[in-house]
Chain A
């Protein structure tokens, strides 16, 4: 077994043990962190590996959340169908966005994804009678059941989040060590060289956007199901910036970085909240410190200093 696999399985084991050891407050936090880390891992596939900076991932998160939420609210779908449906909705949206946005690159790609995401947010508000976008709606407790388990129960919720997190973490581990993952890195590092090694750059980028959007959508669907609320605020611009911050803090292009970054930023904000209202100021200061002292994020620093094998 490789060191990387030991690390990733070890993290899963620690998180599993934590389910039974943590006090209620941190237990709740960690469930939320794991789902948000899935969002960040999805973002990292596109940004950290394929090298495409999207400013519109909230639309994929929201597509997953609403794909799940609307089918449960209006058609009484069970979670076992609603969760995959939400993920599929995000995948379809990602495919559409990719086909259009990949005509651009660099800053133009950032702006186009931002615009699409903003359009998505406005669509949710426009259909307010259906989406209840402005104030959000609650997924009733009776609907929050999966395989006979009540997802509103804190322990079930934590374990469900851990299952999703583990699946995505191990899938990312597989992906980045695969041929496909290496080609994505090649495209990030030197697109023309990759093309002239015979790789279809456009098709790989398309695949990366769809995969990344699907994982973000799965996170959105799970977030709605586990925490019981659906709303347009999850489609707003700040929610697109969030995974970028998490990934930058934790280390872009590392498998474990998104989790580390999410946990770091989550607790930083939490700690800052106890001393000052200006928690965004603290988050900003932390990011400046990171760019000064760990430009490649926390795990990027670990990789550069101590663990060159870190995938």
Chain B
């Protein structure tokens, strides 16, 4: 059964069709990579999934229920978590307070602080827990963003270019982290770093000019001439 299913999903911005006619089906438990050149419509697509922006056409089903018109917070409560491409954290609050806000919705008082500490340790930020989040280096702010996603213990974790701005070492840590998370969580990952994609994805969906141009296992996608022309640069 699909955890997430879209039918003919589309979004226009004035005359621009940023996403058109996308049918996507995510199996429970898989790691799906969503790739495509800049401006392909990846962020627009996942923003429709989580309800951050409204769809112009088509339908979205999540966990067996149609959610196309459901407000974002209700979808999140059903088990989606979304991490922004443009880092969106509570800059004035500490790292711990950021993560606590993510965790407190899903944890009772007895478990709260422990779960916060575990989540911080997951992304390696336990040493910076009491720093103001806005004072962290960019890469660490990305990790706060990821920690807020993980802290919600979601069924579907949507990550929009999470490794942007991370060092090589941090990227390796991130790959290990998502591998561990993926044992319990379905992951939809937008990613430009092709090594990360190949290391993590069970399947890959390729978007170009708002349309799905290919979908398949990593080896198939790598070999697909259409994809190579559109994205991998031939």
**CA distance in complex: A196, B73 (Å):** 6
- From A179, A183, A197, give the contact of B76 (CB < 8 A): A197
CB contacts (< 8 Å) of B93 on chain A: these are 185-186, 189
Of the 9-residue stretches B84-92, B120-128, B176-184, which lies at the interface with chain A?
B84-92
Give the size of the chain B interface in residues (CB under 8 angstroms).
23
In the complex, the answer to whether A179 meets B88 with C-beta atoms within 8 Å is no
**Of the candidates B50, B90, B91, B104, which one forms a contact with A196 in the assembled complex, judged by CB atoms under 8 Å apart?**
B50
**Binding stretch for chain B, among A164-172, A198-206, A225-233:** A198-206
Distance of A207 from chain B, by nearest CB (Å): 14
A192 within 8 A of B: yes
| Chain A, 197-222, CB within 8 A of any chain B CB | 197-201
Is A198 within 8 A of B90, CB to CB?
no
Q: How far is the CA of A186 from the CA of B88 in the complex (A)?
A: 12
Contact yes or no, A190 B82, CB < 8 A: no
Chain A residue with Cβ nearest B112: A179
Instruction: Report which residue of B50, B89, B90, B101 has the largest number of chain A beta carbons within 10 angstroms of its beta carbon.
Output: B101
A residues sitting closer than 8 Å to B (CB atoms) are 179, 182-183, 185-186, 189-190, 192-201
Given contacts A189-B90, A197-B102, 20 further A-B contacts (CB under 8 A): A179-B104, A182-B97, A182-B101, A183-B101, A185-B93, A186-B101, A189-B92, A192-B52, A193-B90, A196-B52, A196-B72, A196-B82, A196-B84, A196-B88, A197-B101, A197-B148, A198-B73, A199-B105, A200-B71, A200-B73
Q: How far is the CA of A190 from the CA of B73 in the complex (A)?
A: 14
Looking at A179, A193, A194, which has the most chain B CB atoms within 10 Å of its CB?
Answer: A193
**With a CB–CB cut-off of 8 A, which chain A residues contact B52?**
192, 196
In the complex, number of A-B residue pairs with CB atoms less than 8 Å apart? 53
Q: A198 is contacted by which of B89, B91, B97, B152 (Cβ under 8 Å)? A: B152
**Given the contacts A179-B104, A189-B93, A192-B52, A198 and B88 also touching, CB distance less than 8 Å:** no
Q: A182-B97, A198-B73, A198-B152 are in contact. Are A193 and B89 (CB under 8 A)?
A: yes
Would you call the interface of chain A mostly helix, strand, loop, or mixed?
Answer: helix
When the two chains form the complex, which single residue of B50, B73, B92, B148 contacts A199, counting CB atoms closer than 8 Å? B73
Q: Smallest distance from the beta carbon of B168 to chain A beta carbons, Å?
A: 28
Known interface pairs A196-B72, A198-B73. Does A182 touch B91 (Cβ–Cβ under 8 Å)? no
Could you tell me if B73 and A192 are in contact, using CB atoms closer than 8 angstroms? Answer: no
What is the minimal beta-carbon distance from B106 to any residue of chain A, in angstroms?
A: 8
* A198 with B77, Cβ < 8 A, contacts A185-B93, A189-B93, A193-B89 known: yes
Contacts of B104 in A (CB 8 A): 179, 182
What residue in chain A is nearest B158 (Cβ atoms)?
A: A196
The residues in B between 93 and 151 inclusive whose CB is less than 8 angstroms from any CB of A are 93, 97, 100-102, 104-105, 148
